[in-house]
Structures are given as structure tokens and as C-alpha cells.
């Protein structure tokens, strides 16, 4: 297993652990620093790991696109009260955006 793979897994588990602690006891972590700062190494290691792998799984790409779409759509729905009546349409659009970007990514990687 490569350094980027280990770094991704360790940083993701660290983020999820601190997020769980902060969810169980609000302010336990966020009073010192924002938990989401720990997403920076997750993204960096994920990018490095994806750059070094020579093959890509179509199923993993689709599952990732759906997961990101669901997370983004949920965040827009929960935090988007200021958008009023447009909140539903924005949440659906944000959910579909990664799914629409998936075919473009697949075409550019195969050529």
C-alpha cells in the first residue's frame, strides 16, 4: 500500500473520529478548531492516490458521484432556507451535478 493510500485512510478516519466526537459533545472539538480543517489532508491524499493509480473503477466512480451528490444536496436542503421556494430545485440540481460530470470525466480519461 502506498503512502497516499495510507495517508488518505488515516486522515479520513481522523476526520470522522473528530466529527463524531464533536457531534456527540457539541463544542468538544470545535471550541479549539474547526473539524473541517481536517478535510484538507483527506482531499490532498485522495488526489495523490488517484493520480498514482493507473486504472479507475466505473462502479467506484458512480458510487462516489452519488455519495457526493447526496451529501451536497442534503447540505443545500438543510442550510438553504434563505433560498426559499428555490431550495428544492437547487438541492436537486446540486445532487445531479456530480452525476452529470461523471460522463465527462470518463470521456477525458479514456482518450
Q: What is the mean pLDDT of each run of 10 residues along the chain (111 residues)?
A: 80 88 86 85 81 67 80 85 87 86 58 48
Give the global pTM: 0.51
What is the pLDDT at residue 102?
67
What is the pLDDT at residue 94?
86
Closest CA to 35 of 24, 45, 46: 24
What is the pLDDT at residue 19?
87
What is the pLDDT at residue 1?
65
Quote the Cα angle for 110-68-72, to 5°.
Answer: 135
R_g of the chain computed on alpha carbons: 17
Q: From CA 102, how far away is CA 80, in angstroms rounded? A: 25
What is the pLDDT at residue 56?
61
Q: From CA 25, how far away is CA 15, in angstroms rounded? A: 15
What is the pLDDT at residue 107?
53
What is the pLDDT at residue 103?
62
Long-range contacts at 105-108 (CB < 8 A, ≥ 24 apart)? 105/61, 106/58, 106/61
Amino acid at each position: 500500500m502506498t503512502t497516499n493510500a495510507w495517508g488518505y485512510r488515516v486522515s479520513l478516519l481522523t476526520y470522522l473520529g473528530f466529527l463524531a466526537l464533536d457531534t456527540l459533545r457539541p463544542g468538544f472539538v470545535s471550541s479549539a478548531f474547526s473539524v473541517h480543517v481536517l478535510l484538507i489532508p483527506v482531499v490532498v491524499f485522495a488526489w495523490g492516490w488517484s493520480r498514482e493509480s493507473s486504472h479507475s473503477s466505473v462502479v467506484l466512480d458512480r458510487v462516489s458521484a452519488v455519495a457526493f451528490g447526496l451529501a451536497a444536496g442534503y447540505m443545500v436542503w438543510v442550510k438553504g432556507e434563505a433560498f426559499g421556494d428555490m431550495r428544492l430545485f437547487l438541492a436537486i440540481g446540486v445532487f445531479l451535478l456530480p452525476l452529470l460530470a461523471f460522463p465527462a470525466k470518463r470521456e477525458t480519461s479514456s482518450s
